[in-house]
Structure 1
Amino acid sequence: MLKSAILIGLLLLAGVSAAFAQQALKPGEAAPEFSGQSLDGSLYDLGQLQGKVVVLTFWSTRCQICHSEIPNLNRVVEHYRGKDVVFLAATMDNEAKVDPYLKRNPFNFTILPNSFATMLKYADKDRSGNINMGFPAHFLISRKGIIAMRTDGWDKASNLDSQISKLLSSD
């Protein structure tokens, strides 16, 4: 009887754990296809960017950490200007929120507003379909469309810089 109760308890615990397990995109996996329109009207999609290293950052105008890291990210963009690297910053915010923000806080990435659908493809999901993505989140995608790195949170610019350099020299 005690063994049966323990077994049932373990099975319930395993079921609860599985229900909350995150299904995160990991390095080595194919990056999900995405498309978006930049503030200047240019269209971007991952398929057209094959052959280039892509830095895809998810951010928000309301994210203080995102705001704090923009100067460091701008330095990374300047470091790789003219190289085969595309810097895209996807946000769920619309143009009405993004435009005034960028006037006060210049961000050298190509901004993709209204990118909720793209975020859903890259966000972690639990088994119930609930999404989870902390901002900022950075995905480094190789020339072949493979996720090379994923980072979340504050001040990842130096790590991003070194990983871009590795990808450019290895591909």
Structure 2
Amino acid sequence: MKNLIIILLVFVAPLISCKESPEEKNVVKKEEVIRPIKSYDYLISDYKNWWSYHYNEIALTSDFEALNEDSEKISKEDFLKKLISGDYITIEIDSEKDLTAYKLYRLPKDLDNEISNVMKNDAYRAFELFKMEGTKFPDFKVTDVNGIEYSNKKFEGKTTVIKTWFINCKACIAEMPELNEFVDIYKNKDIQFLSLATNEREPLLNFLKKNEFKYDVLPNQEHLIENKLKLTVYPTHLIVNEKGIIKKVFKKASQIISYIDQDKLMIKDEKTNLAPPPPPAG
């Protein structure tokens, strides 16, 4: 009997030791999911490679699942703060969830600091926009190019989509056809569209005769944009709720359209057939 027990243990023990534990299953599953969409080595090998990817594919002002370099979930605020340090870049990862997921990847210490400096500046701007969310839209009172008066009361009962722009801003003009289509879809669904322009009324009227833009246009808004809202990059897009609270802030038309229309995939910049702008100096 004793010999029989020993024989059974000899055969059973390997079976038990080879069985995958629940912890091991989780590790395997995690490794299968946490995969960068773009090669880290490729991105850091050349500044232009990274800039083209970052500009076209990374939307730091959007909602996303934030992961640190150990693939642990962190808050968006902490994620942006780490990017501001200049020690990391972010890469979208292959995720089984509907929400886009970005992960931090540490930059080599001996790498040229051009990527680091631009990443730091872009993350800082994204962080400033992030801090605006949940704040009250500044008080304003203005007349649009057609003589209609606007104030904060205009926000009551509707979601308001706002764009900042000026006539000589190429990026601002290039996205107008896309935004016009956006207005056509949502103009009767309790959403209104305002644009804050820095130009005076007459130049704007001349511009609008040749260029269709279906937003309501408010002239001479540089003070509101840059001194009250503290925005310095054009275009910038805001969503203000029916209580006058800034809900979201974005840098691109594609991002705000995607946010409003949650049932559609993110509309990429290819729609406007625009190449990314030249890489900013580090």
Taking structure 2 as the reference length, what is the TM-score of the superposition?
Answer: 0.45
The corresponding residue for 2:249 is 150
Counterpart position of 1:82? 188
Aligned partners of 1:52 and 1:142 also within 8 Å: yes
1: distance between equivalents of 2:237 and 2:141?
17
Contact 1:140-1:164 at 8 Å conserved across structures: no
From 220, 235, 246, give the equivalent of 1:136.
Answer: 235
Q: Note the alpha carbon deviations across 1:134-166, whole angstroms, 9 max, x for none.
A: 1101111111211111112xxx33331243356
2:172 equivalent to 1:73: no
SS in 1 for 2:132: coil
Residue in structure 2 matched with residue 44 of structure 1 by the alignment: 150
Partner of 1:17: none
Q: Is the 8 A contact 1:53 1:164 kept in 2?
A: no
Match for residue 63 of structure 1? 169
Aligned equivalents of 1:164, 1:35: Cα separation in 2: 26
Deviations 1:69-109 (A, max 9, x none): 00011111111111211111111101221111111111000
CA distance in 2, matches of 1:51, 1:96: 31
Note the aligned Cα RMSD (angstroms). Answer: 1.9
**TM-score, structure 1 as length reference:** 0.71
CA distance in 1, matches of 2:179, 2:228: 23
The separation in 1 between residues aligned to 2:236 and 2:209, in whole angstroms, is 22
Identical-residue share of aligned pairs (%): 30
Secondary structure of 1:150's aligned partner: strand
Of residues 123, 127, 138, the one that matches 2:230 is: 123
Distance in structure 2 (CA, Å) of the matches to 1:35 and 1:85: 20
Give the total of aligned pairs.
135
Amino acid aligned to 1:160: I
Give the residue type in structure 1 aligned to 2:249.
R
Bigger Rg over Cα: 2
Question: Could you tell me which amino acid in structure 2 is paired with residue 164 of structure 1?
Answer: I
- Where does structure 1 differ by over 6 angstroms across 4 or more consecutive aligned residues? none
1:135 partner letter: Y
Q: Which amino acid aligns with 1:112?
A: L
Quick one: higher RCO (CA 8 Å, sep 6+), 1 or 2?
1
SS in 2 for 1:28: coil
* Residue in structure 1 matched with residue 255 of structure 2 by the alignment: 159
| 2:132 counterpart residue number | 26
Which segment drifts farther, 60-69 or 73-82? 73-82
Distance 2:184 2:208 in 1: 17
SS of the aligned residue for 2:243 comes to: coil
Distance 1:37 1:80 in 2: 24
